[in-house]
Chain A
């Protein structure tokens, strides 16, 4: 394990991401909307992992940065242009500023106090977005595009039609290639590839941070902050930098969510959304490179696919069994799928925290190690 083969990891990761519409086809998840969510929440989780995975500071407030990113991007769509570039730039910048502010205050405390402070800040931002900041956030309705928005850089729009987000004329929603492969109808759209580009970029940045002296310093903070302080190093600038970086990733994710659907609502800032990203990172494997993305894909897949399984589908699956057994099994499984998928998620999360603190990635490694040992013994 001494030598990390990062280039190979990045290459394999990129290939998998770029071929996602093809690879995901058999799982039923290969529609653009969901794949885009995979990529976006992957970015969110990668950023969160830089803070939580490396420094061990558990923040419950990152939803606020996601929300700030979304709001800023939508404002750019309203005022400047439907081109996504200015929107994303402002999203990242605003989230960075906001996280600098919150991070500066919260990072004065550590441990459980830090978690509660970020929780309080997230809830405060949520309440603010709902009430006081209504001129900025449009309160309960959420910020939406309107026909009479200025959009000073864009050409006059078609009368009565809301323009859609684009990248220099390439419409995000447009499916540019729609082949049929092995019986599956594949959809390649621009939106997914924009998100995929940013996902690969984020992954690359994460690799560089993990291997840099800065990353070593963050890990040192997690291992033993007191000792680090005694050696004469102040840990605050490092944790603050990590906090701001992760906040900017969250802002980027928020901005990308707005490019998918130019609408930003306050519920994106609720602390439960921040809790979800914690679930993703822990489930996938905190402090690992691929873990957060894996966790994000896993949870979003569950949310969208698993939750659609209903009693009829279940009966279809087990129809080969005798009726009494079929009914019995469906009765057992039913509370865990469909509307109850959160129960499965919670239970799985607990199992991972209890038995597999390294997450799914660690689990895969252990299973791999088991096989390797076996083959060695046989040899």
Chain B
């Protein structure tokens, strides 16, 4: 029992990442009708926002300390980040909290990138076939990826979570299991809570604001909303920015879990597409539900018991293929996905 519980919460953090990326993909698809293959690249850009932010924070003043020497006998160079020089302990805290703080930078940057992408490129593809949209965003993903590689190199750049969140929480003890049965790293807990917050925020934004109401109306019937004298294009552009920001934030907070490298976007992209399709093209709750579901399923399938169970019927490495298997079955049995509307994208 505790093993199953452990796997379920283990799946939640990956599931949160899937859900956030899939949410952004669905937002773009539902509003603009565009399949965005560059969405994984936006996730990756978010992660590199965190890297850039911590690089900026740790720009250092180099002081030669004549009293000490390094192992070669030369005077020791002491690097002190400027923020520490200027703000003392507060600066040290800033450095420590650079990942969460980089959210402040990532939000405007990602919204801007999203809006530039939509106005500069995707706008011109509304009337072209879906294959063209896929191709051009696929090309864009390659370009973004290579630009990031040119700037940051090909190696992963580890980012540390704040000291306060390093270590694990013994969840099992709280609900009555034995000690150390269910332990869970703090940061993953934070990631889960954070993504739940973002998801709730997006839904609330669409549900309870006038802007969100107009956007939902536009998703239902773009033409009529346009005829009512509302500039729906501008709102959809902003929604693209929001979707980019959601993907970017997912990337920012993911950096302590998985050191960002330039191709992390592509790795997540395939799975996010599967998530979107399983959840139902154009259905926001579907994307979130499928994201968590597949994340949990993936981690459940990696349990030895389950592996042996499926191994007995001839599927030994079920954890490697479970997501794709589920996707294939869902698409064949229920083509519109778990919560999708019928007739979406059925040309």
A58-B131, A111-B130, A340-B150 known; A353-B320 Cβ under 8 A: no
Interface residues of A in 188-247 (CB under 8 A from B): 225-226
> Are A343 and B150 within 8 A (Cβ)?
yes
Asked if A278 is an interface residue, CB under 8 A from chain B, the answer is yes
Interface residues of A in 123-171 (CB under 8 A from B): 123-124, 127-128, 130-132
Asked if B317 is an interface residue, CB under 8 A from chain A, the answer is yes
A112-B130, A120-B324, A123-B324 known; A128-B317 Cβ under 8 A: yes
> Are B321 and A127 within 8 A (Cβ)?
yes
Stretch at the interface among A34-42, A92-100, A317-325, A344-352: A344-352
> Are B146 and A340 within 8 A (Cβ)?
yes
Interface residues of B in 310-325 (CB under 8 A from A): 315-317, 320-321, 324-325
A112-B345, A131-B320 known; A353-B147 Cβ under 8 A: no
Query: At the interface, is chain B mostly helix, strand, loop or mixed?
Result: helix
Contacts between chains A and B (CB distance < 8 A), count: 108
**Size of interface on B: residues with Cβ below 8 Å to A:** 43
Q: How far, in whole Å, are A371 and B142 apart by their CA atoms in the complex?
A: 35
Contacts of B274 in A (CB 8 A): 116, 120
A113-B345, A353-B136 known; A123-B270 Cβ under 8 A: yes
* The residue from A105, A109, A124, A282 contacting B335, defined by CB atoms under 8 A apart: A109
> Are B328 and A117 within 8 A (Cβ)?
yes
* The residue from A108, A120, A132, A335 contacting B320, defined by CB atoms under 8 A apart: A132
Asked if A56 is an interface residue, CB under 8 A from chain B, the answer is yes
> Are A346 and B331 within 8 A (Cβ)?
no
Interface residues of A in 29-83 (CB under 8 A from B): 56, 58
Asked if B327 is an interface residue, CB under 8 A from chain A, the answer is yes
Size category of the binding interface on chain A? 35 or more
Asked if A110 is an interface residue, CB under 8 A from chain B, the answer is yes
> Are A343 and B143 within 8 A (Cβ)?
yes
Known: A111-B346, A124-B324. 8 other contacts (CB 8 A): A108-B332, A113-B331, A116-B327, A117-B327, A120-B274, A132-B320, A278-B138, A347-B143
For this complex, 9 residue pairs linking A to B, each with C-beta atoms less than 8 Å apart, are A116-B273, A121-B324, A132-B316, A226-B347, A342-B142, A343-B142, A346-B145, A346-B146, A357-B132
Chain B residues with CB under 8 Å of chain A are 35, 121, 124, 128-132, 134-136, 138-143, 145-147, 149-150, 266, 270, 273-274, 277, 281, 315-317, 320-321, 324-325, 327-328, 331-332, 335, 345-347
* Nearest 9 Cβ contacts at the A-B interface: A346-B142, A343-B146, A350-B139, A124-B324, A346-B143, A127-B320, A132-B317, A349-B139, A131-B317
